[in-house]
Amino acid sequence: MEHLFKGLIEGIGEDFTREGLIKTPARATKALYFLTSGYKENLDEIFNEAIFNENSNDMVIIKNIEFYSLCEHHMLPFWGTCHVGYIPNGKIVGLSKVARLVNHFSRRLQVQERLTKQIAVTLKEYLDAEGVAVIIQAKHLCMMMRGIEKQQSETLTKSMVGCFLESDRKNNEFMRLIGLE
């Protein structure tokens, strides 16, 4: 991949042999591999024996999980916070695993809409939860640095599965508890 970055640097009119750019292709390659490391992770390893039987059906919320991703349309960063809530159906998961799940899907070329849905559906499947709610608030450099150039814009996406789709009360409770209602 380093030769591709050299070509990109050369393509914009720079000299990749200039002192400040000599190591840039190697650094950019390493950074891109990290930013897309979600492709190489295994979901079973993420949950790694951290699903526990628990007789609970009370809502669990992990809010303000920060994330960073790359827009698949422009390969520019978008970042923000993810709020995840679920209602157990006899199983709970270690809290750090929810944050790891967010990282797993955000460390790919991504769109926010898909990212939100992937987190919700995966958590529902692994826990057989009664319901899962995910809200992501993010800023996109593809809207801030180029194109329309709206620096204060923020995108909010929401994915509700299971009982969150069926119950306005649970949906509203989740929104209130994360501070969006």
Q: pLDDT, tens digit, for every residue of 29-80?
A: 999 999 999 999 999 999 999 999 999 999 999 999 999 999 999 999 999 9
Which option is the CATH number for 42-177: 3.30.1130.10, 3.20.10.10, 3.30.390.50, 1.20.1530.20? Answer: 3.30.1130.10
- Assess contact for 181 and 168: CB atoms under 8 A: no
SS3 state of residue 149: coil
Give me the pLDDT at residue 27, please.
Answer: 98
Does 74 participate in catalysis according to the annotation?
A: yes
Give me the pLDDT at residue 116, please.
Answer: 98
Q: pLDDT, tens digit, for every residue of 129-154?
A: 999 999 999 999 999 999 999 999 99
Every domain of the chain and the residues it spans: 2-35, 42-177
| Confidence band, pLDDT 50/70/90 cuts, at residue 181 | confident
**Average pLDDT score over the chain:** 97
Q: Active-site residue among 83, 104, 118, 140?
A: 140
Does 71 participate in catalysis according to the annotation?
A: yes
CB-count burial class (<10 Å; 0-12, 13-18, 19+) for 146: exposed
Q: pLDDT, tens digit, for every residue of 81-90?
A: 999 999 999 9
Does 137 participate in catalysis according to the annotation?
A: no
Does 73 participate in catalysis according to the annotation?
A: yes
Q: Active-site residue among 2, 41, 137, 142?
A: 142
Q: Active-site residue among 83, 104, 110, 112?
A: 112
Span 14-43, average pLDDT = 97
Q: Active-site residue among 14, 54, 66, 73?
A: 73
Does 3 participate in catalysis according to the annotation?
A: no
Q: Active-site residue among 71, 82, 110, 118?
A: 71
CA 60, 159, 150, 38 dihedral sign is: positive
Q: Active-site residue among 10, 45, 72, 181?
A: 72
Give me the pLDDT at residue 63, please.
Answer: 97
Angle at alpha carbon of residue 34, lines to 33 and 39, rounded to 5°: 70
